[in-house]
Amino acid sequence: MTFPETVPYDHGMLDTGDGNLVHWEVCGNPGGKPAVVVHGGPGSGAGPSWRRFFDPARYRVVLFDQRGCGRSTPSAGEATTGLATNTTHHLMADMEQVREHLGIAKWLVFGGSWGSTLGLAYTQAHPDRVSEVVLFSIVTTSRAEVDWITEGVKVHFPEAWAEFRDAARPGEGERLVDAYARLLADPDPAVREEAARNWCRWEDTHVREPGARLPGHFGDSRYADPAFRMTFARLVTHYWRHAAWLEEDQLLDGARELGRIPGVLITGGQDLSSPPDPARALADRWPGCELLVIDDAGHGLGHASMSAAAQDALDRFARY
């Protein structure tokens, strides 16, 4: 059971110096254990539900909306917003600026899905700034993982995938993620909107809980918002087509150096969007890391056992 929702006691907009303003907020106990939330997507934003996994009496929780999404500006959903300064390395630098601005020496890193990639990249780049790591629905955003989520997983959803592919009208040898990125940059607003709608429909297909993959199931309500759809689709395709600007196996290789940082990795055994293999590979290389595979769970923390595992890890680390 999660904690009651808390209200931030501090918030602001970080001026990154390159035209981006990154929204941040802090909730919980000002004297509590520092933790930072790394949301998924890319492009989902740090919604209030993230606050409920932390004991507000014991944690000082920092949430931020990654560049171009949520309350950060300018929005990636605007056709005029360039994405040249929106990369994994820019996001890691933003995290460091927020940490320094708030006077935090070390913080626990908590994130999921895309947030697990960014959380791992940040931890490996700044190990002295991280006390513990709790990640779920693990991905490393490798080219192989992107190809699986956009093409390979079609074996489970052949009809939905065929619609997804046909709507992209890919050129000869063009990857679907590149085709959608191209459509989302089209000068015609109608073309962009159709691409965003089709991309989000496919996302909603492969991330659903196993028991919810039924005709007529209502998916993620955020996709009903055209502005959210456009922001989300633009940022996801931007990051995926570049494999998050990370070297092949960079996060796997870097995990070998994390032995002094306690970590908990939580993954769903029925997660078709981010299968357990990357989490297992990371745990094999990360000395002392704890891997939890929830056999009947899918993607995200919607499954009660996934949510309970995440909250249990956070409660344990709150004692340190």
pTM summary value:
0.95
pLDDT tens, position by position, 27-41: 999 999 999 999 999
Which one of the listed residues 271, 273, 303, 307 is annotated catalytic? 271
pLDDT tens, position by position, 93-109: 999 999 999 999 999 99
Angle (deg, nearest 10), helices 143-150 and 176-184: 80
Close Cβ partners of 268 (under 8 Å, ≥ 6 residues apart)? 137, 276, 293, 294, 296, 297, 298, 299, 303, 306
Predicted local distance difference test score (pLDDT) of residue 106: 98
pLDDT tens, position by position, 233-292: 999 999 999 999 999 999 999 999 999 999 999 999 999 999 999 999 999 999 989 999
pLDDT tens, position by position, 206-223: 887 554 444 434 367 888
User: Does the annotation mark 113 as catalytic?
Assistant: yes
Predicted local distance difference test score (pLDDT) of residue 219: 64
Predicted local distance difference test score (pLDDT) of residue 221: 80
AA identity, residue 311 = Q
Query: How far from 48 is each of 64, 193, 223, CA to CA, in Å?
Result: 11, 27, 17
Is the pLDDT score of 145 beyond 70?
yes
207-211's contacts with Cβ under 8 Å and 24+ in sequence apart are 207/273, 207/298, 207/299, 207/300, 208/298, 208/299, 209/297, 209/298, 209/299, 209/302, 209/303, 210/270, 210/296, 210/298
Which one of the listed residues 113, 142, 274, 307 is annotated catalytic? 113
Say how many residues make up the chain: 320
Which one of the listed residues 23, 39, 90, 299 is annotated catalytic? 299
Predicted local distance difference test score (pLDDT) of residue 301: 87
Query: Among 1, 8, 10, which residue's Cα sits nearest to residue 51?
Result: 8
Predicted local distance difference test score (pLDDT) of residue 209: 55
User: Does the annotation mark 116 as catalytic?
Assistant: no
Residue 92: other Cβ atoms inside 10 A: 18
pLDDT band at 303 (very low <50, low <70, confident <90, very high): confident
